[in-house]
Amino acid sequence: MDKNTHRISYFLQKYLDGDIQEEELSQLRHLLEESDENEIQAAFDLIWNNTPLAEDDDTTPFFSDMETAALLQNIIEHAPVINSKTRRKVVAVYALVASIAGALLTLAWLYLNHDPAAPEGVASVVLQKMEHDVDPAQEEAILTLEGGESVSLQHIKAGDSIQMGGVKLVNDNGQLSYQVVQKEAPGIQHVVKTPKGGQINMTLPDGTKVWLNADSRITFLSNLGTQHREVTVTGEVYFEVAKLDGKRFTVKSAAGEIEVLGTKFNVRAYPEDRSMQTALVEGSLAMKTDSDRVVLKPNQVGVASDSQRIMVSDQDRIMDMIAWKNGLFLFENTTLADVGRQLGRWYNIRIQLGEGLTNQRITGKIARDVKLSQVLEMLYYLGIETNLKDNNLMMMPQKEHAYGEKIKM
């Protein structure tokens, strides 16, 4: 690999980390001037190969051509002495990718939390159109028992526990888990529901681990059933099912059900989706509807729709399907309608889309623990204007892109 590629990669990484010195920035400018597009793209690839985003981030990292151009344009904005040759080269790359992309706008939010070198004015433009900022979802869920009694799970402090019939719920250093105290006790219905703006993860009485996304619900008996284990879900839930010989684990939703013995998978079954999507990470499972049954293998996704037919597809980047569980919004060719629904559930706001935006698709990645304003900055870079008022977020197409390129919506 060319020496320039390694040097560009080194200085770009320091730039991304917000740790670059003025002399190093000058060297980076010089390297960009004398390098071609292939060397620059190779430098980005080298960063991804050597620097994972986080220890538990299993999503496939990427720098697209447009993302490369976006960051370089960002550097240009803060490097006024860069020569006109380099400026023209970067703008040419950006324009080429934009023309190829068409309706698909691509931009990863490169700093995940915030870009320390973002052009001045972007944040202020976003904040000027917000009455107030909105915090991300917190650990929050309500447990409702069969008799109607409710418990706020976030109020169970570390070291505390509550007993409900034959089980008790324990907070062990921040991890909620059920423990069986009376094996022969009758099962009592438990419903755990996260609100919009809430999430939770916990361990069920059999040792199965579950993560509930915002605005989701899981219903089960405290003994999980006598013959086999059974839960019912709405919303989005990730499962790591404990294997118990002879006791299968069944997940039911309005669109169908899933049978497993011990495996890891994600279920998305929000009412507005009118389907059940299952992404299998590990093990095997069977999806069933009234008229169809399929067996999924790892790295496959099954979708059961209103037609009761189950469509199966291979997914090379299966971990991207559970990016939410690892603390990321990961949009890949995602419609703004779906983006809006995800943001609405996570930030507990109402979303409205301007004309022509419903089927617009975007690709990007950003941490889920940031305030709403930082997500809106990402959308601004993608050519989406936003306006938050009375907890209603309006998305509108920009007449001109943040980088000066005209956007055809």
- Is the Cα dihedral 52, 118, 382, 39 positive or negative? negative
In the chain, what are the domains? 3-110 (no CATH), 123-135+325-397 (3.55.50.30), 138-315 (2.60.120.1440)
The token pair at 235 is 């919303």
- Which three-class secondary structure state does DSSP give residue 289? coil
Per-residue pLDDT of the chain (409 residues; tens, 9 = 90+): 567 788 887 887 777 666 677 777 778 777 877 777 677 767 766 765 554 444 454 544 444 555 555 556 556 555 544 455 555 544 444 443 333 333 333 444 433 344 444 445 556 666 667 878 899 999 999 999 988 899 999 989 888 999 888 899 999 888 899 999 888 888 899 999 999 999 999 999 999 999 999 999 999 999 898 789 999 999 999 999 999 888 899 999 999 999 997 899 999 999 998 899 999 999 999 999 999 999 999 999 999 988 889 999 999 889 989 999 998 898 888 899 999 999 999 999 999 999 888 888 888 788 898 899 888 888 887 778 899 998 999 999 876 544 444 333 3
The torsion angles phi and psi of 403, rounded to 5 degrees, stand at: -95, 10
Which own/partner pairs from 284-293 qualify as long-range (CB within 8 Å, at least 24 positions apart)? 284/260, 285/258, 285/259, 285/260, 286/258, 286/259, 286/260, 287/256, 287/257, 287/258, 288/256, 288/257, 288/258, 288/259, 289/255, 289/256, 289/257
Q: Report how far residue 324's alpha carbon sits from residue 145's, in angstroms, rounded to the nearest whole number.
A: 28
Question: Residue 224 burial by CB count (10 A; 0-12/13-18/19+): exposed, middle or buried?
Answer: buried
The token pair at 59 is 């999503």
Q: Report how far residue 122's alpha carbon sits from residue 239's, in angstroms, rounded to the nearest whole number.
A: 39
Residue 103, pLDDT score: 32
The structure tokens 């698709």 sit at 361
Q: Report how far residue 208's alpha carbon sits from residue 41's, in angstroms, rounded to the nearest whole number.
A: 43
DSSP bridge pairs for 209? 203, 240
Integer CA distances (angstroms), 48 to 21, 27, 41, 327, in order: 22, 21, 11, 19
Kindly calculate the radius of gyration of the chain based on its CA atoms and give it in whole angstroms. 24
pTM for this model (two decimals): 0.74
Question: Residue 149 burial by CB count (10 A; 0-12/13-18/19+): exposed, middle or buried?
Answer: exposed
